[in-house]
Amino acid sequence: MDKKDWHYLLFLLLSHHPPDRLRRTVQISIRGKTVYLCARCMGVYSALLGVFIAWFLGYGFPTWAYFPLFTFLPLPSVVDWFTQSCKRRESTNTIRICTGFLLGIAEGIVLLTIVNAMLYLFLSALAVFAIYVASIYAIAVKTRCLSSYLDEIMPTKQ
């Protein structure tokens, strides 16, 4: 891989949006170069960092709150992503960052179940994740959103 390929790979890893969808990213200028960061991922990673800093400092959520938090906090992000992917609406970066932040808190809590050896809660989180995936798939197939989404990201050659 030459230098241009590495730059494109780094671009895809940070933004993971094609150039025609850079409106879904946050642009940051570093030493005169523009870096594009996925807006939702920016919210996710800032929340993950916040959850672990709070945990390290001795703050956190009570154990009884883990299940409801990792069950319901991803919902706004999933709805926002799904309705946008199905072309029902176009989201904004503010909404993407906020819903990503909620998703990041949920992901941080799931990671804390691993760090704190709470196997029953980790397995519960995996079950919730599986329900989310199955529900998204079923709705996408039923509404024919899946085929149009796949056609858009992988157009067939004619």
Taking only the tens place, the pLDDT of each residue in 25-72 is: 888 888 888 788 889 989 999 999 999 999 999 998 899 999 999 999
Q: What secondary structure letter does DSSP report for 34?
A: E
pLDDT score of 10 more than 90: no
Mean pLDDT value across residues 73-79? 95
Per-residue pLDDT, averaged over 134-139, amounts to 90
DSSP 143: T
Residues 151/154/155/158 CA torsion (nearest 10 deg):
-130
Average pLDDT of the chain is 86
State residue 37's pLDDT score: 86
What's the whole-number mean pLDDT along residues 107-114? 95
Q: How far is CA 59 from the centre of its chain?
A: 24
**In this structure, are residues 129 and 77 in contact, taking their beta carbons and an 8 Å threshold?**
no
**pLDDT over 90, % of the chain:** 51
Helix (H) or strand (E) holding 29: strand 25-30
Taking the model in full, what pTM does it have? 0.83
Residues 6 or more apart whose Cβ sits within 8 Å of residue 41: 16, 100
Q: What angle do CA 30, 35, 37 make, to 5 degrees?
A: 130
The per-residue pLDDT for 31 is 84
What does the pLDDT average to over 12-37?
A: 78
